[in-house]
Amino acid sequence: MSLSPLGVKRAAVAAAVVLGTVTAVPASAHPRDSGQVQCHGTESVSYQPGVTLEARPIHFTVDGHFDSCTGGDGTVKSGGYHEEFTVTTGCINPLEEFRDHRTYVWNTGESSTADIAGSSTVVAGQVVTPATGTVTHGRFHNRKVLQIIPIVQPSALQCLGDGLTHATGATVLTIS
């Protein structure tokens, strides 16, 4: 007994139903993007000109490095970011509300661009900046971001003369 071409197609469909089908999984549903990721590191900021007591336009150069990332599928182990922007600020008034796009580059060669917003407050001698947002492009697309950046509050002496030109602090990034 031989099958007609239509019979062969029906047999193939029946075999697919019995054996299961192959389904494409959207990239956003990939298992590597499941589970919370947490990264610990440092953020270094350079100020030009130096931050003084009087508020004035200051150019910030920000470099963040995450030496330790855990969670997710375990492939993201480290990362970093670099930004430059200008805001008006001084030693006695921390950063007002801000919005930005921050691109994190991972040890895997992938990146995540997040739309973030935040503001700084002074807490127990530190300028604490929480930044929250959502990953809009790349790895972890549509996931929530929370980054906490505490930097030691400058002393009055550091704000005199040419002002504070550099600060470094710990930072924690959570992607959930």
Write out the two tokens for 96. Answer: 């007002």
Cβ contact 111:72 at 8 Å: no
The whole-number pLDDT of residue 13 equals 32
Query: Rounded to the nearest 5°, which phi and psi values hold at 121?
Result: -135, 160
Q: Which of 172, 147, 176 is nearest to 42 (CA)?
A: 172
Query: Tens place of pLDDT for every residue, the chain, 176 residues?
Result: 444 444 433 333 333 333 333 333 344 444 456 799 999 999 999 999 999 998 899 999 999 999 999 999 999 999 999 999 898 888 877 667 888 899 999 999 999 999 999 988 888 878 899 999 999 999 999 999 999 999 888 888 888 889 999 999 999 999 99
Contacts of 105 (CB under 8 A, 6+ apart): 79, 80, 81, 111
